[in-house]
Chain A
């Protein structure tokens, strides 16, 4: 089961959920701004360069070497030593704003984790395609890495370690705060980060 409502978390929020990848559209559409999620399963780290390369392939009609349908991407350049994730908090999501709407449209990803909020293009794409944007507290990289259980794979290492796509298995990764939902609602008004 990909979706479970948690009853008794001490966190005072709208709702707390436990999510497991792969996510279904119907599940994601229940999430609202203000909800808190704890995620288990696979996340794909993708930042500036991975977005550019993915779109370059997708626009040419080619496939990605990994499957993002129903998946969750993480705006993160992890600090890795050998096969250990040492520190892995989110990076500023706004840098990916120019690429994100198309990536959502092409791939059918269901979740994006980052920090600092995103723009109107992403807001529209989340609404249209049924996906959600969540934020993990920025800079809390050491704690975030505690939720990383193992590295499942790595793609595009030639982009450099921070820009590569690391597939990381996480367990109860959170709190991830929903700040943009699939109804077009955002935590930060005025349509900016």
Chain B
């Protein structure tokens, strides 16, 4: 079965050693997904796998027969940006831009997790519906390292989108 990436089907005819990240970047030309560490430490390679966020460097492409992947290119484009992409620009939630696609994919999935009622380490009440405070955003976004240190603006951008969605 092929793998579906941003709605288009791709054959998984690759070296079995190829990570999903390298398959996206080299095999499919989707270089919006970044490689920062290749070891699941930085989050630059975050994509949505069947709607959930994963580090695409930590999984092999051949394991994803029939799966559906959304990358930063699938979220929005310069002409039709996703609200998160637009909010990151407005709030200057990036500097060099290298961690940014991973931050945005991660934020998209994170908001969905909250909407689905997933709690986090900093949630006061693990039984009730989580409220997305700034502290919650910081905790839930800590798998995405930004060496430029744009965190305050990243939190502001995500909070604005979350509020608009609420």
> Are both chains from one complex?
no
Q: Which residues on B are within 8 Å of A, measured CB to CB?
A: none
Q: Which residues on A are within 8 Å of B, measured CB to CB?
A: none
